[in-house]
């Protein structure tokens, strides 16, 4: 019996072998290639890149394959890799007005400069299982309209802002580079750049539930989708030895600008306020949830009554990370028999004392 | 541009050994710890002060140099090997290298705040010897009962400053005395009795 | 052999320096939780990432590492962490408390008294001793700044009022050098007296919560109590079934369907040393 708790080393080795075997599954079924995952499970790749804070489609695909499709596990794999990478410097902020948008919608105006572009979306699909996909039928290529790559695509928010209807983007406290939350510990209260980083890395399910709660009265902030856009933006970097910016990459991002009512106060006339969301790849649910929660967390700054969970900065920021949450919840699987033994000893003692008292009372 | 003195020959392993020696000094305040394979150093810094800087200072920790040490050879050495910024003001520094002649010695450095006492500076004080000064008795965490230190070249006024620094606990600065290839640590938790 | 694809001891040098600076601050302010830029490790949060980062920042080729979980060297997580360091830090490992220079532990302090020069690294899940009484970091940080620990005294007193004794059994709060209240990590209170004036250096690492704290050698560590309810530790009526010890922390095992119990030392090295000494004693003429 005592031997059963020994032999951990062999047990771990066997477990790893079993896991590798299960990952591969039936050898008669062809192995997935990373390209297949990247191309055909692209939204899973997008989520892993976003919450893994690392834009690399191939590595994200590898993580998904290794994690057997468990996206939270894949995010963990990518993060643990990312943390070992050397830092060369910070890129310049991306300019989403320069986006080559594949999709762009606004729910605040019927038409906007640059137009409403539906693009690829699940929004108007009927959720009927497509049995044609079961038969491996090839789908013909979709007709594509020529995309305007010459002109900037003005943001709806900027148009409202010029009119004074929408507040200017809340600026960072100062011009210092934003603190990197993967290198320095969180201190509270947090600056908005820190909050936004935290939310960008935050678990989509957690943010979705919080965002949803604000729509059900737990911290209502009367949101409208100012704009959602998805497409490619250039990334630029200023190498110290050159002293000017060079374009080093192009990445796909989804951006969401929420426009929220604000009643105004004694000194400030009523105005619309902003909530902002950004995610790698195509991830509208994530970007919208992030934007709603961002706006909720601005309650203090806008002198609103902060009473709901989604307005509680410490609660939200401390619990948004799936890698932290998953690790700590699952650590309960580790042996705790020393602590449990301590509890057994004291509970037995307390029970004996109570029973003795009851006995005495009965006599 | 002058030649820059060499840093650690084997950074990962050298800095590990040096750190453990420094950790021993902090864990046993008053104990003289001789650094293993300390780098040659850059004049006018001692081997121990050089080793301390190479082990703990980097681009995240501004370093303040007393004018006596603020010479091109040291600046170039620090910038090349650690990437650290040279702080213009004492208050901006997380580390500093000073001489015991500076009065008041501890003035102007960050002492942290009550919620964040760790946001404070660590001072390296270069002294002639760690053994030939006036003997003083110290006690506090890391010391079994009492220990004695005999640091040379420290003015009497320093010990009043130290008492004031200790009274700030948990705030305050931490001090490392260096001489040759040896060092001795005096964390803010330590009481100097007499 | 170390794995050439990664840095020595896994962490890059800049990260190690950052952790080393935090450790020195922790030693200088005993019991204070120093925030540090905890990294994502290749092991999950809650499984020892804080202890692993501390160990990775201090360990070298001259060290001998021991890793225990629940007092045992051969529990799966201890094995996993020991394998990790043998792989990335090229370090000698041991199960013998006496031989180890660095001991990483989860939930126990070894029974064999530690010596000066040894370093005990604790894995800490929740570094804040007041967290279950006050969930907000902003609040607890203020309470520590003010040395205002009444809320814990009240909690312990309520336990006495309800049960006639302090029913807290593990993660039992301590006061370090008369200043900071500290979580000793979820060790059983049986181990609390070992923290007091211990000749070894105690380092505590909390990875998910990104905090490091320390107790320097010989530092007073007092378990909270009341004059009329002094601190006391667990006692067993049984002794270890393998080595006969009446002094060590015992694990209870259910050995058959009728619920028959067997008690053995939780500290496997201590138990084996005693069994070895007894076998030698028998063989001696």
Strand locations in A45-184 (E):
100-105
Tell the burial category of A320 from Cβ atoms under 10 Å away from its Cβ (0-12, 13-18, 19+). buried
Q: Write the pLDDT tens digit of every residue in C113-140.
A: 999 999 999 999 999 999 999 999 999 9
Q: Write the pLDDT tens digit of every residue in C61-94.
A: 999 999 999 999 988 889 999 989 998 998 999 9
Q: Which residues 227-256 on chain C approach chain A with CB closer than 8 angstroms? A: 234-236, 242, 249-253, 255
Interface test with C, best of B23, B166, B174 (most C CBs within 10 A): B23
DSSP annotation of C7 reads B
* C6/A8 Cβ within 8 A: no
Q: Write the pLDDT tens digit of every residue in A259-294.
A: 998 777 677 778 899 999 999 999 999 999 999 999
Closest chain B residue by Cα to residue C59: B16
C160 and C209 fall within a common domain: yes
* A331/C46 Cβ within 8 A: yes
In a domain, A175, yes or no: yes
Chain C contact present for B36, CB below 8 A: no
In a domain, A328, yes or no: no
Q: Residues A189-213: what's their mean pLDDT? A: 96
In a domain, C259, yes or no: yes
> Rounded to a whole number, what is the distance in Å from the CA of A71 to chain C's nearest CA?
15
* A185/C44 Cβ within 8 A: no
Task: Report how far residue B173's alpha carbon sits from residue B122's, in angstroms, rounded to the nearest whole number.
Answer: 6
Chain B contact present for C64, CB below 8 A: no
Q: What pLDDT does A6 receive?
A: 58
Chain A contact present for C46, CB below 8 A: yes
- Kind and range of the H or E run holding C68: strand C64-69
* C23/B20 Cβ within 8 A: no
Chain A contact present for C164, CB below 8 A: yes
Q: What pLDDT does A176 receive?
A: 65
Chain B contact present for C8, CB below 8 A: yes
* A342/C234 Cβ within 8 A: yes
Q: Residues A92-107: what's their mean pLDDT? A: 92
C166 and C273 fall within a common domain: no
HSE-up of residue C177 (Cα within 13 Å, Cβ side): 24
In a domain, A196, yes or no: yes
Please state the domain count of chain A: 3
Interface test with C, best of A7, A334, A354, A355 (most C CBs within 10 A): A334
A164 and A284 fall within a common domain: yes
C212 and C167 fall within a common domain: yes
Chain C contact present for B133, CB below 8 A: no
Q: Is C188 helix (H, G, I), strand (E, B) or coil?
A: strand
C145 and C258 fall within a common domain: no
Q: b vs e for C84-95, b when ≥16 Cβ sit within 10 Å of the residue's Cβ? A: bbbebbebebbb
* C219/B141 Cβ within 8 A: yes
C130 and C205 fall within a common domain: yes
In a domain, C215, yes or no: yes
Measure CB to CB from residue B170 to each of C7, C179, C217 and give the nearest one.
Answer: C179
DSSP annotation of A251 reads E
C49 and C138 fall within a common domain: yes
Q: Write the pLDDT tens digit of every residue in C170-225.
A: 999 999 999 999 999 999 999 999 999 999 999 999 999 999 999 999 999 999 99
A61 and A194 fall within a common domain: no
A358 and A293 fall within a common domain: no
Q: What pLDDT does A3 receive?
A: 36
Contact A302, A260 (CB under 8 A): no
In a domain, C3, yes or no: no
In a domain, C164, yes or no: yes
In a domain, C1, yes or no: no
* C170/A339 Cβ within 8 A: yes
Chain C contact present for A177, CB below 8 A: no
Count A/C contacts: CB-CB distance under 8 Å.
Answer: 147
**What region, left, alpha or beta, does residue B142 occupy, with left being phi > 0 and alpha being psi -120 to 50 degrees?**
left
Per-residue confidence in pLDDT tens, chain B, 194 aa: 458 888 999 999 999 999 999 999 999 999 999 998 878 889 899 999 999 999 999 999 999 999 999 999 999 999 999 999 999 999 999 999 999 999 899 999 999 999 999 999 999 999 999 999 999 999 999 999 999 999 999 999 999 999 999 999 999 999 999 999 999 999 999 999 97
Q: Is A139 helix (H, G, I), strand (E, B) or coil?
A: coil
Q: Which of C223, C255, C270 is the last residue of a domain?
A: C223
A227 and A272 fall within a common domain: yes
In a domain, A89, yes or no: no
Please state the domain count of chain C: 2
Task: Report how far residue A75's alpha carbon sits from residue A196's, in angstroms, rounded to the nearest whole number.
Answer: 18
Q: Is B122 helix (H, G, I), strand (E, B) or coil?
A: strand
* A338/C249 Cβ within 8 A: yes
Task: Report how far residue A126's alpha carbon sits from residue A164's, in angstroms, rounded to the nearest whole number.
Answer: 40
CATH number at residue C168: 3.40.50
- Which residues of C fall within a CB distance of 8 Å from A182? 37, 39-40
In a domain, C128, yes or no: yes
Beta bridge partners of B8: none
DSSP annotation of A94 reads P
- The chain-wide mean pLDDT, for chain A, equals 89
Dihedral sign (CA B154, B160, B166, B168): negative
* A338/C70 Cβ within 8 A: yes
- Which residues of A fall within a CB distance of 8 Å from C106? 334
- In chain B the domains, ranked by start, together with CATH numbers, are 11-185 (3.40.50.11310)
Measure CB to CB from residue C208 to each of A7, A324, A338 and give the nearest one.
Answer: A324
Task: Report how far residue B135's alpha carbon sits from residue B114's, in angstroms, rounded to the nearest whole number.
Answer: 32
Query: Considering only CA atoms, which of A65, A71, A79 is closest in space to residue A35?
Result: A65
Q: Long-range contacts for A341-345 (Cβ within 8 Å, ≥24 apart)? A: A341/C188, A341/C234, A341/C249, A341/C250, A341/C251, A341/C252, A341/C266, A342/C169, A342/C170, A342/C188, A342/C189, A342/C190, A342/C234, A343/C169, A343/C170, A344/C252, A345/C169, A345/C234, A345/C235, A345/C236
CB atoms within 10 A of CB A59: 20
Q: What percent of chain C has pLDDT over 70?
A: 97
C280 and C249 fall within a common domain: yes
| DSSP letters for A17-65 | HHHHHHHH--TTSPPPPHHHHHHHSHHHHHHHHHHHT---HHHHHHHHH
> Rounded to a whole number, what is the distance in Å from the CA of C285 to chain A's nearest CA?
31
ipTM for the predicted complex: 0.97
Task: Report how far residue B99's alpha carbon sits from residue A357's, in angstroms, rounded to the nearest whole number.
Answer: 71
Closest chain A residue by Cα to residue C210: A185
CB atoms within 10 A of CB A169: 13
Which range (A4-13, A57-66, A220-229, A234-243) has the least confidence? A4-13
Q: What pLDDT does A240 receive?
A: 80
- The chain-wide mean pLDDT, for chain C, equals 93
A275 and A354 fall within a common domain: no
How confident is residue A4, by pLDDT bands cut at 50, 70 and 90? very low
A42 and A176 fall within a common domain: no
In a domain, A42, yes or no: yes
In a domain, A90, yes or no: no
Interface test with C, best of B141, B171, B186, B191 (most C CBs within 10 A): B141
Q: What tokens were used for C28?
A: 């200088």
Q: Which residues 289-308 on chain A approach chain C with CB closer than 8 angstroms? A: none
Task: Report how far residue A94's alpha carbon sits from residue A255's, in angstroms, rounded to the nearest whole number.
Answer: 11
Q: What tokens were used for B5?
A: 């003195």
> Rounded to a whole number, what is the distance in Å from the CA of B80 to chain C's nearest CA?
15
C173 and C246 fall within a common domain: no
Chain B contact present for C217, CB below 8 A: yes
Strands C221-223 and C102-106: unpaired
Q: What percent of chain A has pLDDT over 70?
A: 94
The model carries a pTM of 0.91
Q: What pLDDT does A301 receive?
A: 86
Q: Which residues 198-257 on chain A approach chain C with CB closer than 8 angstroms? A: none
Range of the domain at A47: 7-82
A304 and A357 fall within a common domain: no
Q: What percent of chain A has pLDDT over 90?
A: 58
Contact C104, C200 (CB under 8 A): no
Q: What pLDDT does C97 receive?
A: 97
Q: Residues A57-79: what's their mean pLDDT? A: 97
- Tell whether the model's pLDDT for residue A5 goes beyond 70: no
Q: Long-range contacts for C36-39 (Cβ within 8 Å, ≥24 apart)? A: C36/A185, C36/C210, C36/C211, C36/C212, C37/A182, C37/A183, C37/A184, C37/A185, C37/C210, C38/A185, C38/C206, C38/C207, C38/C208, C38/C209, C38/C210, C39/A83, C39/A182, C39/C11, C39/C15
Task: Report how far residue C128's alpha carbon sits from residue C196's, in angstroms, rounded to the nearest whole number.
Answer: 19
* C21/B56 Cβ within 8 A: yes
Range of the domain at C117: 13-223
Strands C201-206 and C211-215: antiparallel
Contact B152, B132 (CB under 8 A): yes
Q: What pLDDT does C121 receive?
A: 98
In a domain, A16, yes or no: yes
Packing angle between helix B11-27 and helix C49-58, nearest 10 degrees?
A: 100
* C18/B60 Cβ within 8 A: yes
In a domain, C6, yes or no: no
Closest chain C residue by Cα to residue B94: C21
* C83/A339 Cβ within 8 A: no
In a domain, A192, yes or no: yes
Q: What pLDDT does A10 receive?
A: 86
Q: What pLDDT does B112 receive?
A: 98
* C16/B142 Cβ within 8 A: no
Chains near B (3 or more Cβ pairs under 8 Å): C
Tokens 């794999």 sit on residue: A77
Measure CB to CB from residue A342 to each of C39, C71, C188 and give the nearest one.
Answer: C188
Q: Write the pLDDT tens digit of every residue in A136-184.
A: 767 778 877 666 666 788 888 888 888 888 888 776 555 567 789 999 9
Measure CB to CB from residue C36 to each of A185, A189, A323 and give the nearest one.
Answer: A185
Q: Residues A207-222: what's their mean pLDDT? A: 92
Q: What pLDDT does A1 receive?
A: 31
* B170/C29 Cβ within 8 A: yes
Dihedral sign (CA C188, C194, C196, C201): negative
> In Å, how far from its chain's centre is CA C145?
25
Residues B12, B16, B21: CA angle, nearest 5 degrees:
155
Closest chain B residue by Cα to residue C12: B12
C214 and C250 fall within a common domain: no
C110 and C246 fall within a common domain: no
Chain C contact present for A280, CB below 8 A: no
Closest chain A residue by Cα to residue C47: A331
C109 and C78 fall within a common domain: yes
Q: Which residues 134-153 on chain C approach chain A with CB closer than 8 angstroms? A: 136-138
Task: Report how far residue B124's alpha carbon sits from residue B74's, in angstroms, rounded to the nearest whole number.
Answer: 15
Beta bridge partners of C34: C212
Measure CB to CB from residue C32 to each of B23, B117, B174 and give the nearest one.
Answer: B117
* C10/A184 Cβ within 8 A: no
Dihedral sign (CA A49, A53, A54, A60): negative
The catalytic site residues of C sit at: 31, 240, 243, 265, 271
In a domain, C229, yes or no: no
A68 and A106 fall within a common domain: no
C146 and C209 fall within a common domain: yes
Whether omega for the bond prior to residue C278 falls within 30 degrees of 0, making it cis, is: no
């Amino acid at each position: 019996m005592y031997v059963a708790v020994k032999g951990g080393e062999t047990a771990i080795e066997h477990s790893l072998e079993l896991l590798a075997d299960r990952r591969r599954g039936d050898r008669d079924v062809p192995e997935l290639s990373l390209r297949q995952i990247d191309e055909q499970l692209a939204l899973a790749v997008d989520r892993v890149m976003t919450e893994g804070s690392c834009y690399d489609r191939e590595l994200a695909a590898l993580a998904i394959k290794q994690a057997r499709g468990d996206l939270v596990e894949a995010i963990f794999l990518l993060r643990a890799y990312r943390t070992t990478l050397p830092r060369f410097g910070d890129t310049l902020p991306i300019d989403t007005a320069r986006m080559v948008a594949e999709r762009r919608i606004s729910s605040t105006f019927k038409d906007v400069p640059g137009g409403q572009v539906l693009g690829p979306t699940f929004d108007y699909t009927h959720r009927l299982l497509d049995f044609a996909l079961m038969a491996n039928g090839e789908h013909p290529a979709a007709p594509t309209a020529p995309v305007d790559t010459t002109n900037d695509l003005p943001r709806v928010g900027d148009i409202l802002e010029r009119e004074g209807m929408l507040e200017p983007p809340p600026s960072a406290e100062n011009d210092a580079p934003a603190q990197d939350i993967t290198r320095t510990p969180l201190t509270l209260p947090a600056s908005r750049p820190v909050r936004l980083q935290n939310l960008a890395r935050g678990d989509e399910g957690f943010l979705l539930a919080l965002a949803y709660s604000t729509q059900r009265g737990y911290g209502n902030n009367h949101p409208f989708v100012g704009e959602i856009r998805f497409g490619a933006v250039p990334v630029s970097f200023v190498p110290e030895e050159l002293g000017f910016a060079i374009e080093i990459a192009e990445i796909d991002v989804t951006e969401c600008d929420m426009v929220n009512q604000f009643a105004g106060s004694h000194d400030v006339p009523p105005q619309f306020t902003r909530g902002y969301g950004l995610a790698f790849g195509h991830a509208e649910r994530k970007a919208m949830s992030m934007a709603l929660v961002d706006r909720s967390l601005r309650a203090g700054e806008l002198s609103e009554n902060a009473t709901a969970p989604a307005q509680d900065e410490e609660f939200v920021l401390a619990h948004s990370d799936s890698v932290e949450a998953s690790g700590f919840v699952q650590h309960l699987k580790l042996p705790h028999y020393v602590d449990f033994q301590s509890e057994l000893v004291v509970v037995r003692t307390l029970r004996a004392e109570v029973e003795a008292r009851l006995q005495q009372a009965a006599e | 541009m002058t030649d820059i003195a060499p840093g650690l020959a084997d950074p990962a392993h050298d800095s590990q050994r040096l750190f453990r020696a420094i950790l021993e000094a902090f864990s046993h305040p008053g104990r003289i710890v001789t650094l293993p394979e300390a780098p040659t150093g850059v004049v006018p810094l001692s081997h121990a002060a050089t080793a301390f800087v190479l082990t703990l200072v980097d681009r995240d920790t501004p370093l303040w140099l007393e004018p006596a040490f603020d010479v091109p050879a040291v600046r170039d050495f620090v910038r090349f090997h650690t990437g650290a910024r040279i702080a213009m003001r004492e208050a901006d520094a997380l580390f500093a290298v000073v001489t015991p002649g500076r009065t008041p010695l501890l003035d102007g450095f960050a002492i942290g705040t009550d919620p964040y006492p760790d946001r404070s500076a660590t001072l390296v004080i270069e002294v002639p010897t760690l053994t030939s000064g006036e003997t003083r008795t110290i006690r506090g965490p890391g010391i079994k009962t009492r220990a004695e230190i005999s640091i040379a070249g420290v003015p009497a006024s320093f010990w009043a400053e130290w008492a004031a620094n200790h009274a700030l606990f948990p705030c305050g600065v931490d001090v490392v005395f260096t001489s040759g290839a040896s060092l001795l640590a005096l964390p803010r938790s330590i009481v100097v009795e007499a | 052999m170390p794995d050439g694809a990664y840095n020595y001891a896994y962490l890059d040098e800049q990260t190690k320096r950052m952790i080393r600076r935090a450790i020195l601050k922790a030693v200088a302010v005993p019991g204070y939780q120093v925030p540090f830029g905890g990294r994502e490790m290749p092991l999950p949060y809650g499984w020892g990432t804080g202890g692993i980062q501390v160990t990775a920042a201090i360990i070298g080729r001259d060290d001998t590492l021991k890793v225990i979980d629940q007092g045992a060297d051969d529990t799966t997580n201890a094995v996993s962490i020991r394998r990790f360091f043998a792989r990335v830090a090229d370090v000698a490992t041991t199960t013998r408390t006496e031989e180890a220079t660095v001991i990483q532990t989860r939930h126990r302090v070894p029974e064999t008294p530690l010596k000066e020069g040894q370093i005990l690294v604790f894995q800490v899940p929740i570094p804040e001793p007041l967290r279950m009484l006050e969930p907000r970091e902003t609040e607890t940080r203020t309470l520590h700044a003010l040395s205002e620990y009444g809320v814990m005294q009240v909690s312990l007193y309520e336990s006495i009022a309800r049960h006639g004794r302090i029913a807290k059994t593990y993660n039992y709060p301590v006061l370090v050098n008369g200043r900071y209240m500290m979580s000793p990590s979820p060790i059983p209170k049986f181990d609390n007296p070992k923290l007091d004036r211990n000749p070894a250096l105690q380092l505590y690492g909390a990875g998910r919560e990104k905090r490091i704290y320390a107790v320097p050698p010989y530092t007073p560590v007092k378990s909270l109590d009341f004059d009329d309810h002094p601190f006391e530790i667990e006692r067993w009526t049984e002794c270890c079934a393998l080595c006969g010890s009446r002094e060590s922390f015992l694990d209870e095992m259910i050995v058959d369907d009728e619920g028959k119990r067997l008690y053995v030392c939780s500290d496997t090295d201590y138990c084996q040393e005693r069994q070895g000494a007894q076998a030698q004693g028998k063989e001696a003429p």
